[in-house]
């Protein structure tokens, strides 16, 4: 079975451009991904960030659904502890009605923000340690999406509208074995956030997912795993490294708990790296999924094979939006996506 190739987008804010521009760039890239034949387009959720503008994936999903034809669109993810399970189910039922058969609901447990912002989003959840209710919340979402709540559940009589024949595809997302084990126990597809950990913990999490997997009626018959990875390609290795330099220097800030806009390659080149930081940058270059399209395809396929993933979602934050589109086009062609082949002809 061929590896499915998708896109993950954080609506990255680039230096010199506003957060509103990042949202419009997301909408444009989604249309291109639809034309090129990518399988899915997933939107991340972040709050109070100078790096990422995607604070409301459910709204972006609706906008993308209205301007694309065939690609699946989803969240990667909705950070469920911030919200009531009923409201999330209602939102994604509406989205499924807008674009039947094309909606994914990826659910995550991480805050996607700092603790103060998480409190501002949902003070009650923080006081009640709502994160510990994550498994119950997931099951409530599944119940309101059509499986039904237990008869003794206090909200069993409540129905999430609009009801219809189709349902969104529910995924669990994570960067540790917590979500992996829960996805296995609930019989749901699981995506590991490889780009967050640089792969640390991926093998253990996916092994835990497969070991804990229990088929559930109406869900998966067997485990189905995906990876979300950082990858950038270009016509030459040198240009790919130049594009990657923005992300690499940004990661130095992230490692210090600072989340600035994505620097340009010129700003990255001028960054006064300390000797330890230069060593860190070199290690990043050695392990990053960057290079020519054929090189990046080989690295992605090898990683997916090593970890037993059936799908890969590619995150490609590049400062220049046209360079990012170029990377997306070249990668689609390298993977032989049918629509990409037609576009290149």
pLDDT tens digits for 130-162?
447 899 999 999 999 998 999 999 999 999 999
The predicted model gives 259-267 an average pLDDT of 97
Residue 190 has pLDDT above 90, yes or no: yes
* Local structure of 25: helix, strand or coil: helix
The pLDDT, as a whole number, for residue 113 is 74
Structure token digits, residue 158: 């409540």
Q: Model confidence over 63-76: pLDDT tens digits?
A: 999 999 999 999 99
Report the pLDDT value the prediction gives residue 343, as an integer from 0 to 100. Answer: 60
The set of residues, in sequence order, having a beta carbon less than 8 Å from that of 272 and lying 6+ positions away, is none
Q: What is the pLDDT of residue 344?
A: 56
**Of 16-20, 162-166, 213-217, 341-345, which range is least confident?**
341-345
pLDDT tens figures, 93-137: 999 999 999 999 999 998 767 888 888 988 876 555 544 789 999
The pLDDT score that the predictor gives to residue 130 is 46
What mean pLDDT, rounded, does the chain reach? 94
Closest CA to 252 of 278, 230, 231: 278
Report the CATH number of the 4-235+291-344 domain.
Answer: 3.20.20.30
pLDDT score, position 221: 95
For 125, the enclosing helix (H) or strand (E) is: helix 123-127
Q: Using the predicted structure, report yes or no on whether residue 310 has a pLDDT greater than 90.
A: yes
Cβ(315)–Cβ(227) under 8 Å?
Answer: no
Q: How, if at all, do strands 225-233 and 190-193 pair?
A: parallel
- Does position 259 have pLDDT exceeding 70, yes or no? yes
Sign (positive/negative) of CA torsion 261, 267, 269, 271? negative
Render pLDDT for 191-236 as a digit per residue (tens, 0 to 9): 999 999 999 999 999 999 999 999 998 899 999 999 999 999 999 9
Choice between 245 and 122, residue whose per-residue pLDDT is larger: 245
pLDDT above 90: percentage of residues in the chain: 87
**pTM, rounded to two decimals:** 0.95
Say if residue 42's pLDDT is above 50. yes
- Kind and range of the H or E run holding 41: strand 40-43
């Amino acid at each position: 079975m061929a590896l499915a190739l998708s896109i993950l987008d954080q609506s990255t804010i680039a230096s010199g451009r506003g957060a509103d521009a990042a949202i419009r760039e997301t909408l444009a890239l989604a249309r291109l991904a639809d034309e090129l034949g990518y399988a899915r387009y997933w939107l991340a959720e972040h709050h109070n960030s100078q790096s990422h503008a995607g604070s409301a994936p459910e709204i972006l999903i609706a906008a993308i659904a209205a301007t694309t034809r065939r690609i699946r669109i989803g969240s990667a993810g909705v950070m469920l502890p911030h919200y009531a399970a009923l409201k999330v189910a209602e939102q994604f039922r509406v989205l499924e009605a807008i674009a039947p058969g094309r909606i994914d609901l990826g659910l995550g447990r991480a805050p996607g923000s700092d603790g103060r912002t998480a409190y501002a989003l949902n003070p009650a959840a923080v006081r009640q340690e709502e994160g510990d209710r994550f498994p119950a919340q997931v099951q409530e979402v599944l119940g309101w999406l059509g499986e039904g709540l237990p008869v003794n559940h206090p909200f069993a009589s409540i129905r999430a509208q609009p009801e219809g024949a189709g349902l969104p595809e529910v995924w669990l997302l994570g960067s540790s074995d917590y979500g992996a084990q829960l996805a296995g126990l609930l019989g749901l597809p699981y995506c590991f956030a490889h780009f967050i950990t640089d792969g640390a913990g991926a093998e253990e999490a996916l092994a835990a997912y497969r070991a804990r997997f229990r088929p559930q009626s109406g869900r998966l018959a067997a485990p189905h795993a995906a990876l979300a990875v950082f990858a950038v390609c270009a016509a030459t290795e040198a240009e790919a490294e130049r594009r990657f330099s923005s992300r690499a220097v940004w990661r130095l800030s992230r490692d210090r708990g600072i989340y600035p806009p994505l620097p340009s390659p010129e700003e990255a080149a001028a960054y006064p790296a300390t000797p330890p930081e230069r060593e860190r940058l070199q290690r990043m270059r050695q392990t990053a999924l960057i290079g020519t399209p054929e090189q990046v395809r080989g690295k992605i396929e090898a990683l997916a094979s090593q970890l037993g993933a059936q799908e890969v979602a590619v995150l490609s934050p590049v400062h220049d939006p046209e360079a990012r589109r170029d990377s997306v086009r070249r990668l689609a062609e390298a993977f032989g996506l049918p629509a990409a082949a037609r576009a290149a002809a």
